[in-house]
Amino acid sequence: MTPGPRDRSLRRRALLGAGGLAALAAGGAALAAGDPAVRAPAGPLAPPAPVPFHGPHQAGILTPRQPCARLAALDLAPGADRARAAALLRAWTAAAERMSRGKAPGDTAADTGVALGGGPASLTVTFGFGAGFFERVGLGPARPGALAPLPAFPDDRLDPARSDGDLFVQVGADDPFAAVHALRALQRSARGVAATRWEMAGFTGPPGVGSAGATHRNLMGQLDGTANPAPAGDPALRGRILVETPDTPGWLRGGSYVVVRRIRMLLDHWEGLPEHHREEAVGRRVADGAPLTGGTEHTPVDLEAARPDGVPVIAANAHVRLAAPKGNSGATMLRRGWSYYDGPRPDGAPDAGMLFVAWQSDPRTGFVPVQHRLARGDALARYVVHEASALFVAPRGAMPGEWVGQSLLEG
User: How does pLDDT run across 163-196, given as a tens digit for each residue?
Assistant: 999 999 999 999 999 999 999 999 999 999 999 9
Please, which pLDDT band fits residue 330 given cuts at 50, 70 and 90?
Answer: confident
On the question of pLDDT at 10 being above 60, the answer is: no
Please, which pLDDT band fits residue 47 given cuts at 50, 70 and 90?
Answer: low
Whole-number Å distance between alpha carbons of 327 and 259: 20
On the question of pLDDT at 77 being above 50, the answer is: yes
Please, which pLDDT band fits residue 44 given cuts at 50, 70 and 90?
Answer: low
CA atoms within 13 A on the CB side of 358: 25
Question: In terms of C-beta density within 10 A (0-12 exposed, 13-18 middle, 19 or more buried), how is residue 309 classed?
Answer: exposed
Q: Which pLDDT score is estimated for 30?
A: 34
Mean pLDDT of the chain: 88
On the question of pLDDT at 7 being above 50, the answer is: no
Three-class DSSP category at 181: helix
Please, which pLDDT band fits residue 31 given cuts at 50, 70 and 90?
Answer: very low
Q: What is the pLDDT of residues 366-378, one digit of tens each?
A: 999 999 999 989 9
Q: What angle do CA 178, 181, 184 make, to 5 degrees?
A: 150
What are residue 286's phi and psi, to 5 degrees?
-70, -45
Cβ 125 vs Cβ 167: under 8 Å: no
Calculate what percentage of the chain has a pLDDT beyond 70.
86
Please, which pLDDT band fits residue 352 given cuts at 50, 70 and 90?
Answer: very high
What mean pLDDT comes out for the span 340-352?
Answer: 97
| 224 annotated active-site | yes
What mean pLDDT comes out for the span 273-293?
Answer: 96
Instruction: Look at 36-45, 52-61, 332-341 and tell me which has the smallest mean pLDDT.
Output: 36-45
Higher pLDDT, 274 or 43: 274
CA atoms within 13 A on the CB side of 363: 26
Cβ 343 vs Cβ 335: under 8 Å: no
Whole-number Å distance between alpha carbons of 39 and 174: 22
On the question of pLDDT at 13 being above 70, the answer is: no
User: What dihedral do alpha carbons 237, 241, 245, 250 form, nearest 10°?
Assistant: -150
Catalytic residue among 7, 224, 351, 378: 224
What mean pLDDT comes out for the span 88-101?
Answer: 97
pTM across the whole model: 0.87
What mean pLDDT comes out for the span 35-39?
Answer: 38
Beta bridge pairs of residue 72: 169, 199
Q: Which pLDDT score is estimated for 51?
A: 97
Q: What is the pLDDT of residues 102-155, one digit of tens each?
A: 999 987 677 887 887 889 999 999 999 999 999 999 999 999 999 999 999 998
Query: What are the domain boundaries of the chain?
Result: 1-41, 50-409
Q: Which pLDDT score is estimated for 46?
A: 60
Three-class DSSP category at 359: strand
Whole-number Å distance between alpha carbons of 97 and 101: 7
On the question of pLDDT at 303 being above 60, the answer is: yes
Q: Give the strand pairing for 334-335 and 350-360.
A: antiparallel
Q: CA separation (Å) from 110 to 103, 106, 113, 186, 195?
A: 14, 9, 9, 12, 18
Q: Which residues contact 51 (CB under 8 A, 6 or more apart)?
A: 59, 63, 100, 120, 122, 123, 124
The residue type of 311 is: V
Question: In terms of C-beta density within 10 A (0-12 exposed, 13-18 middle, 19 or more buried), how is residue 111 classed?
Answer: middle
Q: Which pLDDT score is estimated for 209?
A: 54
Q: Which pLDDT score is estimated for 236?
A: 84
Q: What is the pLDDT of residues 222-274, one digit of tens each?
A: 999 888 888 877 888 899 999 999 999 999 999 999 999 999 999 999 999 99
Cβ 321 vs Cβ 314: under 8 Å: yes
Whole-number Å distance between alpha carbons of 105 and 94: 8
